[in-house]
């Protein structure tokens, strides 16, 4: 299983030294308004923790390996990291976790934005920092849409990206936009009935948000972008005639 204190080859997964790692930074969108409606600030904690737990479990089942992925939560921010030394499938596992996490949040009506970078990362019990985390945060800050953007350095590394390309783990819909985590990518390899169910849930949530924010243009554009992503993927699957576009 994928847990913070997991032991791998006799060593704990949380590294005390700077290791070259895949690092992701994720920000939960609209968190300030959520806190205002929940003065104690505890309503959404179980949702976030459950989404992370489910993502870690699903990624472990999908890859059928134990890995050294770890994470920290601070307010509405989550940092995930995976030292490359632990497994050659570090990127594929990280993207699996992020996809499951983002989809899990969305199905609970929570949306996020983030970045994934590669570089040196230091982690101890109380401290995380390093150039990869700085770049991941920068990617999140510059992303225009509710997606988890992937650094160009990762996309351009054939040794890292080949498996992720084969399994639809990343996607791009804007010519000048970033490559991003394809959180609906599993519809290409799970059973059709399950794919149709996920796509319909996704469609209904995004459609309701488009109606809800019809008069708030800056927010509406975010949900229209997700609708374009949804429709773009439907156009790629073999059973698109059984799906409904947004």
Tens of pLDDT, residue by residue over 162-186, are: 766 667 899 999 877 899 999 999 9
Question: Chain-centre distance of CA 90, in angstroms?
Answer: 14
Structural domain boundaries in the chain: 7-183, 187-246
Q: What is the pLDDT at residue 21?
A: 94
Q: What is the pLDDT at residue 168?
A: 87
**Range 45-51 contact pairs with CB under 8 angstroms and sequence separation of 24 or more:** 47/105, 47/108, 47/110, 48/73, 48/78, 48/105, 48/110, 49/73, 50/104, 51/100, 51/101, 51/104, 51/105, 51/108, 51/110
Mean pLDDT of the region 189-214: 97
Among the listed residues 14, 157, 41, 44, the one whose alpha carbon sits nearest the alpha carbon of residue 92: 157
Among the listed residues 200, 122, 63, 89, the one whose alpha carbon sits nearest the alpha carbon of residue 208: 200
CATH number of this structure's domain 7-183: 3.30.70.1230
Please report which confidence band the pLDDT of residue 11 belongs to, taking 50, 70 and 90 as the band edges.
Answer: very low
Please report which confidence band the pLDDT of residue 2 belongs to, taking 50, 70 and 90 as the band edges.
Answer: very low
What does the pLDDT look like over 214-243, one tens digit per residue? 999 999 999 999 999 999 999 999 999 999
Beta bridge partners of 74: 77
Element of type H or E holding 51: helix 45-63
Whether the per-residue pLDDT at 15 is higher than 70: the answer is: no
Q: Per residue, what are the HEC states of 2-22?
A: CCCCCEECCEECCCCCCEEEE
What does the pLDDT look like over 38-64, one tens digit per residue? 777 678 888 999 999 999 888 776 665
Collapse the DSSP code of 79 into the 3-class scheme (helix H, G, I; strand E, B; otherwise coil) and give the result.
strand
| DSSP category for residue 65 | S
Q: What is the pLDDT at residue 128?
A: 93
Among the listed residues 113, 198, 125, 200, the one whose alpha carbon sits nearest the alpha carbon of residue 150: 113
131/121 Cα distance (integer angstroms): 7
121/21 Cα distance (integer angstroms): 6
155/163 Cα distance (integer angstroms): 12
Whether the per-residue pLDDT at 95 is higher than 90: the answer is: yes
Q: What is the pLDDT at residue 17?
A: 60
| DSSP category for residue 239 | T
Among the listed residues 120, 119, 69, the one whose alpha carbon sits nearest the alpha carbon of residue 95: 69
Q: Name the more confident of 9 and 132.
A: 132
Distances (CA, A) of 211 to 147, 204, 206, 234: 21, 11, 9, 21
Q: What is the pLDDT at residue 161?
A: 78
Q: Are 84 and 98 in contact (CB under 8 A)?
A: no
Collapse the DSSP code of 201 into the 3-class scheme (helix H, G, I; strand E, B; otherwise coil) and give the result.
helix
Q: Name the more confident of 63 and 158.
A: 158
């Amino acid at each position: 299983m994928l847990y913070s204190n997991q032991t791998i080859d006799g060593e704990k997964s949380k590294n005390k030294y700077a290791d070259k790692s895949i690092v992701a930074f994720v920000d939960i969108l609209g968190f300030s308004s959520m806190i205002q409606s929940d003065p104690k600030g505890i309503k959404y904690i179980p949702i976030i923790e459950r989404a992370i737990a489910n993502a870690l479990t699903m990624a472990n089942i999908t890859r059928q390996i134990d890995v050294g992925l770890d994470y920290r939560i601070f307010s509405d921010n989550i940092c995930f990291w995976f030292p490359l030394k632990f497994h050659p499938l570090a990127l594929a596992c990280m993207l699996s976790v992020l996809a499951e996490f983002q989809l899990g949040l969305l199905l609970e009506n929570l949306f996020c934005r983030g970045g994934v970078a590669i570089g040196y990362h230091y982690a101890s019990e109380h401290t995380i920092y390093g150039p990869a985390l700085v770049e991941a945060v920068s990617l999140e800050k510059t992303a225009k849409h509710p997606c988890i953007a992937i650094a160009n350095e990762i996309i351009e590394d054939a040794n890292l990206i080949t498996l992720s390309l084969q399994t639809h783990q990343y996607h791009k819909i804007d010519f000048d936009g970033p490559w991003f985590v394809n959180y609906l990518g599993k519809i290409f390899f799970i059973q059709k009935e399950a794919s149709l169910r996920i796509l319909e849930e996704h469609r209904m949530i995004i459609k309701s948000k488009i109606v809800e924010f019809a008069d708030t243009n800056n927010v509406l554009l975010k949900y229209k972008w997700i609708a374009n992503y949804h429709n773009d993927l439907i156009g790629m699957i073999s059973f698109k005639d059984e799906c409904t576009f947004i």
